[in-house]
A and B are shown apart, each in its own frame.
Chain A
Amino acid sequence: MHPAVILGIRAALAAPAIAMGATFLAFGAAVREAGLSAGWALACAWAIYGMPGQLVVLQSASTGGGVIATVVGAVAVNARFLPMSVALAPWLRRREGDRRPLLLAHFISITTWAAAMRVLPEQPVAARLPWFAGFCAGAFMIAGVCAVAGHVLAGAMPAALRTALVFANPLYFALLMSADLTRSGPRRAVLAGAAAAPLALVLPPAWGLLAAGLTGGTAAFLIGRGR
């Protein structure tokens, strides 16, 4: 095994584990409240592995939305997986035509993507895929364990704690983006995305985030090209 695998696992078991684990704890508790099993919480966490989409499916499971509407809504809120995978793929290839990154595609989430985009460019080419594999393994385990733990512990969690857990995720991403604010390219995309966020308030919830990201991201890209 490449030594970078262990480094990846260790990186996942630090701050990302806390931020992501907190969110999946809250998710597991919400699944229990909806009257669904711990197994369902685990299946949802691992099969979809993207919190906004998980929440859409959970909500429809508890209120009885139609299958098609649920799937369309859940996929739309997770649509960022497409541009994220495009952006990440070149950093996972060892050489042209390398197909191994496809094996890790399922594990691309906000957490793993954000960590990889920070770390991989500084790694030697041979260490990139192993590092990402280790990080993904660690993150996936944490997600599953915490989803089940949240289900088991739901009754013991005071409401205030659960809300704080839910806030851990946006705060974690905000901190990751704070680091990006010191670099001009990413700063442009972060600011443009935040500026476009109000679009999500006027559009249907499923498409709002996607529209804000496309608008803000394209604007940032064009401004960057113009310089």
Chain B
Amino acid sequence: MSEADLALLLTGLACLALRLAGVMLAGRLRADHPFIAWASCVAQATLAAFVALAVLAPSGALAALPLHARLTGLAVGVAAYFALRERLLPALAIGLVAVVLVA
């Protein structure tokens, strides 16, 4: 087994362990328990930070896209989302077309 395969295997197992641990930690707690509410806030905030970084300060392949294209894509997509009464798929498509057009 090569190093890359070993790293892949171990990462997969560790990610599974995180997910199992989360489900077990939640145990018998109800959805409105403070610990569950806190975990929801952390999960939601992590996702928001992920999106903010992807748009404003990305690394990797996204960095090849200029800042004005990322901002335009986000703005057009969100505007389309509300203009189309919260329909996800068309808003997503419109936002992506905007990205390609201005990039």
Q: Which of A1-9, A78-86, A147-155 contacts B (4 or more CB under 8 A)?
A: A78-86
The distance from the CB of B46 to the nearest CB of chain A, in whole angstroms, is 3
Interchain pairs with CB closer than 8 A, number: 302
Question: A173–B19 contact, CB under 8 A?
Answer: no
> Chain B: which residue is nearest A180 at the CB level?
B44
Most buried by A among B45, B64, B96, B99: B45
Question: B4–A194 contact, CB under 8 A?
Answer: no
Question: B8–A163 contact, CB under 8 A?
Answer: no
Q: Which of B12, B25, B30, B96 contacts A167 (CB 8 A)?
A: B96
> A156: CB under 8 A from chain B?
no
A12 to B25, CA, bound (A): 27
With contact pairs A61-B7, A164-B96 given, residues A82 and B48 touching in the complex (Cβ less than 8 Å): no
> A143: CB under 8 A from chain B?
no
Chain B interface residue bracket vs A: 35 or more
Chain B residues 41 to 75 lying within 8 A of chain A, measured CB to CB, are 41-57, 59-62, 64-65, 70, 73-74
The distance from the CB of A89 to the nearest CB of chain B, in whole angstroms, is 3
Question: B49–A86 contact, CB under 8 A?
Answer: no
Question: A221–B78 contact, CB under 8 A?
Answer: no
A89 to B35, CA, bound (A): 12
Chain A residues 27 to 70 lying within 8 A of chain B, measured CB to CB, are 30, 36, 40, 43-44, 47-50, 52-53, 55-57, 60-61, 64-67, 70
Question: A81–B56 contact, CB under 8 A?
Answer: no
Question: B51–A53 contact, CB under 8 A?
Answer: no
Question: A166–B50 contact, CB under 8 A?
Answer: no
> A161: CB under 8 A from chain B?
yes
Question: B92–A171 contact, CB under 8 A?
Answer: yes
A176 to B28, CA, bound (A): 28
Question: A83–B42 contact, CB under 8 A?
Answer: yes
Q: Which of A15, A71, A213 contacts B7 (CB 8 A)?
A: A71
Could you list some 5 contacts between A and B, CB below 8 A?
Answer: A177-B48, A189-B41, A201-B53, A218-B38, A221-B42
Which 4 residue pairs are nearest across A and B when measured between Cβ atoms? Answer: A85-B22, A213-B46, A193-B45, A193-B48
